[in-house]
Every structure is written in structure tokens, then in C-alpha cells.
């Protein structure tokens, strides 16, 4: 048999309520493969509060607490304190929230948890909009994208402004480990989560999570699109270990058009707008490369 | 402790038993159904790796779809390196 | 050991004696000394708890909830704007059936900006499913926190509770407080032992979605628990009295009401002033009485009716107001009394808003108003407003 490149054990069961082709389903699946099922999961209001199913069922095999939407950072802080005081410092606590619950309404609580050095892993699964409530824009929605609250229309009101850079925000909190992962690269995903597990303090994972109904793409293309995001340099894969930037995948440098044309949320973009996006992506990629290259072992 | 029942269930403001989504047969959602050409399958298990629903199990080193749960998303067919999975129209059962 | 201390410090000592384990808290005047004192206890090794210096009150309550779910005895404290900010999470705490105890320093809400005593912040949280208990003295603050951990952690209760003290009047005023020995508190309050616990590898998911077929029963269970709390609080107090020497008269204390012609029902720190006024007026031959409302939730309907039945007039002192409706205590007391035989005339006296002093003169004025039967057609009077009579009867009734 082919040797399995990721752990075999599952932390989730079939029979969940995720959409066909759900990227967030893959995020959770790889997360639990990497960390094992002995973790404590804290999940706010988001797709993943519904995906396990309604009371009394759950597709998760892992001890879980659901919290209010903005409270993941708070919830993991309380969990860590409780387990510490009960003498169980080795329990892995995982906060698992969407881009809304992390970069928008949840940002304050996450910032507080990170600033206090809370010993937990925080995973933001980024499907680039408030998907659970019906595809409304978030600060993580890419510039120019269609959402229900940036529907274009006669006034061309698509999402304005670039995607909020959560990796930079979290690195600015002096956390020991931050990494971007994509469901297109499960081996890299698992490796990084296992690296995160070995650290102490607040570890942040930015997980790229395509969404067929929200991004208007064919459900069969979820993994393909997740790979293209990396290959076009739109979503670079890198780690920041104690402030040191490490690129983990070079990516083929494919034109952004390969990524954009597969998604209905970008179908209105003109050639000019695609060119502008290409330029921005190239600049950001160059900056990331330069940052990483300065970080020699001598410096650190 | 006070026990209340709502149509036979205990109501106490929490716990749910984990790993109990089996009653939810999401296979009924399918519009397309993956059909595997077992001759061409090399057993690489890429399909297993990329299934969002854990609907592909590993049985004797080969992938086997659990059609009770497969939602027919087609990721397996799209990612298969041997192109041995076809998505066909699901007939009403 | 007897020490002179503020209400804030009394709350901190109570939390320490209760061996709280996790304290997520955010400072707000006039609660800050509670958090500071607890921090210094922890820093000096006098309390082995984890303080979490959270970045907002909303986070404080959210962290209490997860910590309590994971098996820790949790405590926090807040006031006014902070309590209002926690509002969403108060529902979450009670719906999760967690025995969190919180010291709430009752303070006015902005705008205008005020740091002084007022009950609107607490009144606004009546429907959150929390037990609400008002204190008259710093001693009562200390004793009540310990008692409520005992009550709330009972399987038949499992609801959170707020112990309420008036801003500055109790929080920052020095009073003699008897601090019980740790071993005596330990005899009264065993360690927190929740039935179901969030543990790695344990088959539990907390807070999942419940459809219309299931949700209502969860809520009914909370009402049952609140009624159990009403029943059990006097028993818990009796146990506290036996083991630690003090009790406070249950849900509603009757002070010289039995043969009174008129009775005033009040809560919080004004009660201690009112006791003195009652004694003075009694010495003058006026038959007045005082009902001290300790718990707003659970609301002691039966006890209220027992107290006011057959009286000529009943006044209710509200340190808050629900605009367009009436004071909260007034509405609830009148509602409880409706249709009961011997229901007396009930009148609302809105006083002390925003920290305005409720002096013995003001209380005497209220009692005189009740005794005289003046302004009987008005249900509500605002007391001691500038530039008018002491008792200003509102037009149109409450």
C-alpha cells in the first residue's frame, strides 16, 4: 500500500452538516490528525458550530466547548487557567475560529490572549467572509471580491481594501510561532501543527479554507484552488519562529488569473483589475522574500 | 439530580455525546456519485487524503467510498492522479 | 480575626477564603480594589489562584465560563459599564449552568458619567438567570460570597450569582468585618466538584445547537433551579450560622413589621440607615417597619406577601427606574401582591439615583408620606429632586 503521508487516525466522523467540498472540513480533519484527539477544542459561533450537527449529535470525537462569537481568545484563556490550576499543564488547548471570529469581532480577545502569552494553539480557518451567516464581507475578504454585503451592483460596490494581514498582526504580539497553512498541502499543514505543538505560548495558525458556496466555485475544485492560492503567491506558505520568517514553499509563481478565474466571486474583474492584483501580489511576495532573507541565523 | 425529559431526552444544558453523527446520512444529499475504476486505482490514497467528509475509508489498502455519507463533492475525482474516479449522475433511490 | 476594611476588600477576602481557583477580571471604579487585593494575595502566595488580567469585562465573563466548564471555581467582579458589557455573557453563564460568583459593585450607568451608587446596572440584568443578592454591610458581602458558592454549586441549583454592594457606600467605606478562619470556611464549603467536566478524551461537547424541540426544556430547568435556590438559601444560611456564627434572615428580612401600620421595602446600603430611622420613629410612637429585600432573583413573592398583608400602606424604595414603567422593585412587589387578600396601597419612592445620598431625613420624609396617606392617587414619587418638594409625586401614576 502507499505509505500514508499524514496520520491515519481521524478526529471527525462522517455525517456532518458541512457543504459538499467544504474547505473548513479539511482544516479540522488535518488539525486533529496533527495534534491527536486528546485536545480541548474551543469553537465560537461560525460554520464549525453547525458542522458537527445539532444536539445531541456531534461529528467531533474531541472534547469541545462552544463559545460566543467574539470570545474564542477569552475562552482559551479561561481553559488554560483552569487546567493549570488543576495541575494539568500538558493539556493542549486549541481555539478554532473563522476569519470573522478572529480578525473582526474576535480580534480584541485574541490580542489579549496573545499579549498575555496564553499557552494555546489558535487556528483561524479563513474562508474570507462571514460564511455561516450567508457570505457577508469580513476584513479577510480579498479586495474586489463579491459578497452579499459587497454585491457590486450599479455602483460597483465590491469589497474595498486589502485583506487584513493577520500573520503580521499576530507576529507583532511577539508570539513564539505563527504559520500559514493550506488544505492543498496536507503534509505541510500537519508538519506545522506538530511544530506548533512543541512550542509554549500563543501559537497562531492561518489556515486557507476555500468555500464553494461563498466563493462560487465548483465543490470539486476546493483542493485545486487551495493549491493555486499558494502557487500564485496569493497565499504564501511560511512560518515565523520567534520572529524569524521562514518561507516553506516557493510556489511556481503562476499568474493570479489561474486562481481568480475559477471563482465566481471574481468573475466581474476586468483585465485591468486582474493586472493590478497581479502587481500587488508580486510586491507582497517580494517583500516577504526579502524579509525572510534578512533573517540569517547570525541575526537570531 | 432533577431530570427533565423532552420527548425522551434528558435536558440539562450540556453535554452531547461525541462522534455520534452517524444517524445523519448525508449521502442523501448527492447529485453526483463517485464511481471508482478499481483496475486503474494504484492505491495511492490521495482520494482518502482529500475527502472533507471522511467518506472514503481504507479497506485492505484500497479506498472504499461509504455511500451513506458521501456528498458527491467530486474532490476525489478532481485530485486522483490516475483519473480513475468518474462522477456520474446519482439516480434517485 | 476582626479587621476594619472596605467592602471591596471584604469581597477579596471572601474569594480567598472560598479558595477560588481562576479569577479573570478587568478593573473598573469602584471595584478596582477587589482585583488589586486578590492580585496581591496571589503574588504573596496567600491564594493559589490564576488571575487573568483580561482586556475587557466581556472577556472576563467568557473566561469565567470556560474555566468553570473545565472544573475550576471561578470568581470575578465588576460594576456598571462593565456589567453592561458582560451582558451577553451573563446569559451564557446561566444557560451553561455554571456556579460562577461575582461581586457586583452597583453603580450608575452613563451618560451622564457617574461612578456613584445606583441599581440600574443590576436591574438591567434581572432576566439573565443570575441569582441577585443585595448586601447591607461589608460583613454581609464577605459572608454572602462564601454562602453563594455553597448554594450555587449544589446540583439542584447550578446557577451563577452576583453579590451586590453599593458603590463607595460599601465598596470604599471602612467597617469592622469578622474574617472567619480558613479551616472553618473549609468545613462549610467543600471543593468544587462538577458532575460533568470538560476533559481531554472525554465524550462531551458543551453549548451545541438545540432545536425548538429541545430548547424550551433547558430553560424550564433553569426556572426550577431558581426556585430551588429560593428554597435552599435559608437552609444554607442556617448551616452558615451554625458553623460560622452569622445569618441574614433569608430572602426578605422582617424588621419590626409585624405590628407596623406602614412598611418600607428597600435593598442595599439604605437598609442600614432605614433601621435607625425605624427605631427613632418607633420611639416616637409611630408604628413603622422595614422589609430588607436580599434577593431580587429569586424574587421572594410569598415572603413579600407575608410581610405586607394587612398593612395600611407599603412603600418601595427603588434606587433605579425603568423609564415609562416604574421602579423595578415596585413593579415586582406590586405584581406579587396583586389579587392577594389584604393587599395594601403600594407606592414607589425613587431615591438615591446616581449616588444621591439617602439620608435619615429623606427616609423619615418617605415614612411620613406613607403614614399621612398624602399623594395616595400617585403610584410613584421621585424623592429629593432639586428645587421641589421632598416627595414629588409623578403625574399619571407609575
What is the predicted pLDDT for the residue at C102?
A: 98
B48 occurs within a structural domain = yes
**Candidates C72, C206, C210; nearest CB to A86:** C72
Q: Do the domain assignments include residue A300?
A: no
Q: Report the gap between the CA of B36 and the closest CA in chain A (Å).
A: 16
Contact across the interface for A16 and B49, Cβ inside 8 Å: no
CB-based contact A56 B66, cutoff 8 Å? no
Q: Find, among B17, C96, C114, the residue nearest to A66 by Cα.
A: C96
| 3-state class (DSSP) for residue A282 | helix
CB–CB contact C66 A116 (8 Å): no
Asked whether the beta carbons of C201 and A64 are under 8 A apart, the reply is no
Does B1 have pLDDT greater than 50? no
State the smallest CA–CA distance between residue B1 and chain A in angstroms.
20
CATH number at residue B42: 3.30.70.20
Q: Establish if B49 belongs to a structural domain.
A: yes
User: Which residue in the block uniquely carries the three cell numbers 481504507?
Assistant: B58
Q: For chain C, give every residue range classified as CATH 3.40.50.970.
A: 2-192+210-244
Nearest to A111 among C22, C55, C198 (CB): C55
Nearest-CA distance C263 → chain A (Å): 44
Among chain B residues, the shortest Cα distance to C201 is held by B18
How is residue A116 annotated by DSSP?
T
Which residue among A63, A74, A92 places its CB closest to the CB of C198? A63
At A185, which CATH number? Answer: 3.40.50.970
**Which residue among A26, A64, A220 places its CB closest to the CB of B74?**
A220
Contact A152, A158 (CB under 8 A): yes
Q: Which of residues 319 through 348 in chain C touch A, CB cutoff 8 A? A: none
- The residue among B19, B28, B65 with the most chain A CBs within 10 A of its CB, best to mutate, is B19
Q: pLDDT tens digit string along B57-82? A: 999 999 999 999 999 999 999 999 99
Q: Are strands C380-383 and C345-350 parallel, antiparallel or unpaired?
A: parallel
Assess if residue B2 is contained within a domain. Answer: no
CA distance C89 to A272: 48
Asked whether A95 and C62 are in contact (CB, 8 A), the reply is no
**List of residues 6+ apart from A135 with CB closer than 8 A:** A129, A147, A148, A213, A214
pLDDT of chain A, 300 residues: tens digit per residue = 578 999 999 999 999 999 999 999 999 999 999 999 999 999 999 999 999 988 878 899 999 999 999 999 999 999 999 999 999 989 999 999 999 999 999 999 999 999 999 999 999 999 999 999 999 999 999 999 999 999 999 999 999 999 999 999 999 999 999 999 999 999 999 999 999 999 999 999 999 999 999 999 999 999 999 999 999 999 999 999 999 999 999 999 999 999 999 999 999 999 999 999 999 999 999 999 999 988 777 776
**Cβ-defined contact of A71 to C64 (cutoff 8 Å):** no
Let me know if residue B20 belongs to a domain. Answer: no
Query: Of C95, C48, C148, C74, which is closest to residue A74 (Cα–Cα)?
Result: C74
Q: Which residues from chain C sit within 8 angstroms of residue B12, using beta carbons?
A: 97, 218, 221
Of C97, C221, C228, the CB nearest to B4: C221
Task: Please say whether the beta carbons of B69 and B26 come within 8 A.
Answer: yes
The boundaries of every CATH 3.40.50.920 domain in chain C are: 252-393
HEC per residue, chain C: CEEEECHHHHHHHHHHHCCCCEEEECCCCCCHHHHHHHHHHHHCCCCCCEEEECCCHHHHHHHHHHHHHCCCCEEEEECHHHHHHHHHHHHHHHHCCCCCEEEEEEECCCCCCCCCECCHHHHCCHHHCCEEEECCCHHHHHHHHHHHHHHHCCCCCCCCEEEEEECCCCCCCCEEEECCCHHHHHHHCCCCCCCCCCCCCCCCEECCCCCHHHHHHHHHHHHHHHHHHHHHHHHHHHHHHHHHCCCCCCCEEEECCCCCCEEEEECCCHHHHHHHHHHHHHHCCCCEEEEEECEEECCCHHHHHHHHCCCCEEEEEECCCECCCECHHHHHHHHHHCCCCCCCEEEEEECCHHHCCCCHHHHHHHHHHHHHCCCCCCCEEEECCCCCCCEEECCCCC
Q: Which residues of B touch A8 (CB under 8 A)?
A: 58
Q: Which chains touch C (3 or more CB pairs under 8 A)?
A: A, B
C208 with A55: Cβ contact below 8 A? yes
* SS3 label, residue B74: coil
From the list B18, B19, B52, the residue facing A21 with the nearest CB is B52
Structural domain boundaries enclosing B58: 25-89
CA of C159 vs chain B CAs: smallest distance (Å): 11
How do residues B3-60 score in pLDDT, each as one tens digit?
333 333 343 444 556 666 677 899 999 999 999 999 999 999 999 999 999 999 999 9
Q: Quote the pLDDT of residue C387.
A: 86
* ipTM of the modeled complex: 0.94
Q: What is the pLDDT of residues C168-221, one digit of tens each?
A: 999 999 999 999 999 999 999 999 998 878 888 876 788 888 889 889 999 999
| Per-residue model confidence as pLDDT tens digits over C279-323 | 999 999 999 999 999 999 999 999 999 999 999 999 999 999 988
Q: Is residue B81 part of a domain?
A: yes
Interface contact A219-B73, CB threshold 8 A = yes
The shortest CB-CB distance from A67 to any of C66, C68, C71 is to C66
The domain C2-192+210-244 is classified under which CATH number: 3.40.50.300, 3.30.930.10, 3.40.50.970, 2.30.40.10? 3.40.50.970
Q: Check whether the bond before C373 is cis (ω within 30° of 0).
A: no
CATH code matching the domain that covers C252-393, chosen among 4.10.1240.10, 3.30.460.10, 3.40.30.10, 3.40.50.920: 3.40.50.920
Choose, out of C39, C52, C62, C215, the residue to mutate when testing the contact with A (most A CBs < 10 Å): C62
B2–C203 C-beta distance less than 8 A: no
Enumerate the residues of chain C whose CB falls inside 8 A of the CB of residue B5: 217
Mutate which: A85, A116, A118, vs C, most C CBs within 10 A: A85
Q: Is A68 inside a domain boundary?
A: yes
- Counting residues of chain C whose pLDDT is more than 90, the rounded percentage is 87
Q: What is the pLDDT of residue A236?
A: 98
> Could you tell me if residue A98 is inside a domain?
yes
Q: Look at residue A9 and tell me if it is in a domain.
A: no
Residue A97 lies in a domain: yes
Q: How far apart are CA A228 and CA A254, in angstroms?
A: 8
Q: Which of C327, C374, C330 is nearest to C353 (CA)?
A: C327
Residues of C in contact with A58 (CB under 8 A): 205, 208
Q: How far apart are the first and last CA of chain C?
A: 48
Within 8 A of C205 by CB-CB distance, chain B residues are: 15-16, 18
Q: What is residue C396's predicted lDDT score, i.e. its pLDDT?
A: 56
Residue A5 lies in a domain: no
Which residues on chain A are in Cβ contact (under 8 Å) with B78? 220-221, 223-224
3-state secondary structure of A230: helix
Domain that holds residue A105: 23-294
C-chain residues near A67 (CB < 8 A): 62, 65-66, 92, 207
Is the separation of the CB atoms in A148 and A160 below 8 Å?
no
Q: What's chain C's Rg over C-alpha atoms?
A: 21
Cβ contacts (< 8 Å) between C157 and chain B: which residues? none
Which of A23, A37, A220 would you mutate first to test chain B, the one with the most B CBs within 10 A?
A220
Q: Find residues 54-83 of chain C whose CB sits inside 8 Å of chain A.
A: 54-56, 58-60, 62-72, 74
Chain A residues in contact with B13 (beta carbon < 8 A): none
Distances from the Cα of C222 to the Cαs of C95, C173, C217, C251, in angstroms? 8, 36, 9, 19
Burial of C36 (0-12, 13-18, 19+ CB in 10 A): middle
Tell me, yes or no, whether A18 lies in a domain: no
Q: What number is the average pLDDT over the span C29-52? A: 96
Residue A241 lies in a domain: yes
For residue C47, the chain A residue with the least C-alpha distance is A85
Cβ of residue B92 closer than 8 Å to a chain C Cβ:
no
Question: CB–CB of A60 and B18 under 8 A?
Answer: yes
Q: How many domains in chain A?
A: 1
- C269 preceded by a cis bond (ω within 30 of 0): no
Task: Tell me whether C190 touches chain B (CB under 8 Å).
Answer: no
Q: Report how far apart, in Å, the C-alpha atoms of C248 and of each of A115, A187, A208, C180 are.
A: 44, 64, 59, 16
Give how many domains chain B has, as a whole number. 1
Positive or negative, the Cα torsion across C96, B2, A62, B68? negative
Q: What angle do CA C295, C299, C304 make, to 5 degrees?
A: 95
- How distant is the Cα of A183 from the closest Cα of chain C, in angstroms? 25
Q: Name the closest residue on chain A to residue C54, using Cα atoms.
A: A112
Q: Which member of C54, C68, C206 has the closest CB to residue A77?
A: C54
Under an 8 A CB cutoff, do A108 and C55 touch? yes
Interface test with A, best of B73, B74, B80, B85 (most A CBs within 10 A): B73
Tell me the pLDDT of chain C averaged across its residues.
Answer: 94
CA distance C100 to chain B (A): 15
Sequence length of chain A is: 300
Residue range C88-109: average pLDDT? Answer: 97
Q: Answer whether B13 sits within 8 Å of C216, measured CB to CB.
A: no
Cis check for the bond before C112: say yes or no (omega within 30 of 0).
yes
* CB pairs < 8 Å spanning A and C: 150
**pLDDT tens, position by position, C337-378:** 988 867 789 999 999 999 999 999 999 999 999 999 876 677
Alpha carbons A203 and B9: distance in angstroms, whole number: 39
Amino acid at each position: 500500500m502507499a505509505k500514508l503521508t499524514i496520520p491515519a487516525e481521524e478526529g471527525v466522523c462522517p455525517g456532518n452538516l458541512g457543504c459538499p467540498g467544504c474547505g473548513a472540513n479539511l482544516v479540522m480533519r488535518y488539525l486533529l490528525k496533527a495534534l491527536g484527539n486528546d485536545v480541548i477544542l474551543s469553537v465560537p459561533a461560525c460554520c464549525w458550530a453547525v458542522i458537527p450537527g445539532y444536539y445531541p449529535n456531534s461529528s467531533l470525537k474531541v472534547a469541545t466547548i462552544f463559545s460566543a462569537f467574539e470570545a474564542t481568545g477569552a475562552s482559551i484563556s479561561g481553559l488554560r487557567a483552569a487546567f493549570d490550576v488543576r495541575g494539568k499543564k500538558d493539556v493542549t488547548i486549541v481555539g478554532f475560529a473563522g476569519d470573522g471570529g478572529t480578525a473582526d469581532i474576535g480580534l480584541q480577545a485574541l490580542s489579549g490572549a496573545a499579549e498575555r502569552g496564553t499557552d494555546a494553539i489558535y487556528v483561524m480557518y479563513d474562508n474570507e467572509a462571514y460564511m455561516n451567516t450567508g457570505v457577508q464581507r469580513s476584513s479577510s475578504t480579498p479586495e474586489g471580491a463579491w459578497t452579499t454585503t459587497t454585491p457590486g451592483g450599479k455602483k460597483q460596490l465590491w469589497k474595498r481594501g486589502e485583506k487584513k494581514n493577520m500573520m503580521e498582526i499576530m507576529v507583532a504580539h511577539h508570539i513564539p510561532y505563527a504559520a500559514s497553512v493550506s488544505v492543498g498541502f496536507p503534509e505541510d499543514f500537519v508538519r506545522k501543527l506538530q511544530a506548533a505543538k512543541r512550542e509554549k505560548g500563543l501559537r497562531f495558525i492561518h489556515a486557507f479554507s476555500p468555500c464553494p458556496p461563498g466563493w462560487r466555485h465548483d465543490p470539486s475544485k476546493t483542493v485545486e484552488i487551495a493549491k493555486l492560492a499558494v502557487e500564485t503567491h496569493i497565499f504564501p506558505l511560511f512560518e515565523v519562529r520567534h520572529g524569524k520568517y521562514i518561507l516553506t514553499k516557493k510556489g511556481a509563481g503562476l499568474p493570479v488569473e489561474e486562481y481568480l478565474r475559477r471563482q465566481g466571486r471574481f468573475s466581474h474583474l476586468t483585465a485591468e483589475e486582474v493586472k493590478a492584483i497581479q502587481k500587488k501580489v508580486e510586491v507582497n511576495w517580494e517583500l516577504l522574500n526579502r524579509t525572510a532573507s534578512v533573517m540569517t541565523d547570525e541575526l537570531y | 439530580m432533577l431530570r427533565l425529559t423532552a420527548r425522551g431526552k434528558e435536558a440539562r444544558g450540556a453535554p452531547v455525546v461525541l462522534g455520534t453523527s452517524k444517524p445523519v446520512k448525508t449521502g442523501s444529499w448527492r447529485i453526483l456519485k463517485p464511481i471508482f475504476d478499481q483496475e486503474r486505482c494504484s492505491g495511492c490514497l490521495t482520494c482518502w487524503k482529500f475527502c472533507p467528509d471522511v467518506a472514503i475509508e481504507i479497506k485492505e489498502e484500497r479506498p472504499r467510498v461509504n455511500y451513506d455519507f458521501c456528498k458527491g463533492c467530486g474532490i476525489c475525482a478532481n485530485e486522483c492522479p490516475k483519473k480513475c474516479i468518474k462522477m456520474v449522475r446519482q439516480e434517485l433511490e | 480575626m476582626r479587621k476594619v476594611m472596605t467592602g471591596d476588600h471584604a469581597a477579596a477576602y471572601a474569594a480567598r477564603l472560598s479558595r477560588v481557583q481562576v479569577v479573570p477580571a478587568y478593573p473598573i471604579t469602584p471595584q478596582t480594589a477587589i482585583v488589586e487585593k486578590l492580585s496581591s494575595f496571589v503574588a504573596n502566595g496567600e491564594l493559589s489562584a490564576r488571575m487573568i488580567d483580561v482586556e475587557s469585562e466581556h472577556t472576563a465573563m467568557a473566561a469565567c465560563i470556560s474555566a468553570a466548564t473545565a472544573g475550576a471555581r471561578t470568581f470575578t467582579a465588576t460594576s456598571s459599564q462593565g456589567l453592561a458589557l458582560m451582558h451577553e455573557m451573563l446569559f451564557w453563564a446561566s444557560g451553561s449552568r455554571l456556579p460562577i460568583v461575582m461581586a457586583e459593585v452597583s453603580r450608575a450607568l452613563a451618560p451622564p458619567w457617574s461612578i456613584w451608587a445606583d441599581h440600574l446596572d443590576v436591574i438591567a440584568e434581572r432576566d439573565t438567570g443570575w441569582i441577585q443578592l443585595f448586601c447591607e454591610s461589608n460583613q454581609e458581602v464577605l459572608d454572602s460570597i462564601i454562602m453563594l458558592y455553597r448554594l450555587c454549586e449544589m446540583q439542584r441549583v447550578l446557577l451563577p450569582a452576583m453579590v451586590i454592594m453599593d458603590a463607595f457606600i460599601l465598596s470604599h467605606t471602612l467597617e469592622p468585618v469578622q474574617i472567619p478562619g480558613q479551616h472553618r470556611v473549609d468545613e462549610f464549603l467543600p471543593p468544587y466538584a462538577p458532575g460533568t467536566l470538560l476533559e481531554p478524551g472525554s465524550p462531551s461537547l458543551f453549548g451545541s445547537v438545540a432545536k425548538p424541540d429541545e430548547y424550551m426544556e433547558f430553560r424550564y430547568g433553569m426556572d426550577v433551579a431558581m426556585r430551588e435556590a429560593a428554597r435552599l438559601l435559608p437552609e444554607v444560611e442556617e448551616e452558615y450560622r451554625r458553623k460560622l456564627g452569622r445569618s441574614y434572615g433569608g430572602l426578605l428580612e422582617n424588621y419590626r413589621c409585624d405590628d407596623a401600620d406602614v412598611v418600607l421595602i428597600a435593598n442595599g446600603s439604605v437598609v442600614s440607615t432605614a433601621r435607625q430611622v425605624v427605631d427613632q420613629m418607633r420611639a416616637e410612637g409611630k408604628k413603622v417597619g422595614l422589609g430588607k429585600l436580599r434577593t431580587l432573583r429569586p424574587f421572594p413573592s410569598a415572603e413579600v406577601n407575608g410581610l405586607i398583608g394587612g398593612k395600611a400602606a407599603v412603600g418601595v424604595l427603588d434606587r433605579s427606574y425603568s423609564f415609562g414603567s416604574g421602579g423595578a422593585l415596585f413593579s415586582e412587589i406590586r405584581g406579587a401582591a396583586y389579587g392577594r387578600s389584604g393587599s395594601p396601597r403600594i407606592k414607589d419612592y425613587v431615591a438615591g439615583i446616581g449616588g444621591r445620598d439617602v439620608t435619615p431625613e429623606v427616609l423619615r420624609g418617605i415614612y411620613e408620606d406613607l403614614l399621612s396617606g398624602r399623594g395616595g392617587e400617585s403610584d410613584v414619587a421621585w424623592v429629593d429632586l432639586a428645587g421641589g418638594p421632598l416627595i414629588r409625586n409623578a403625574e399619571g401614576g407609575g
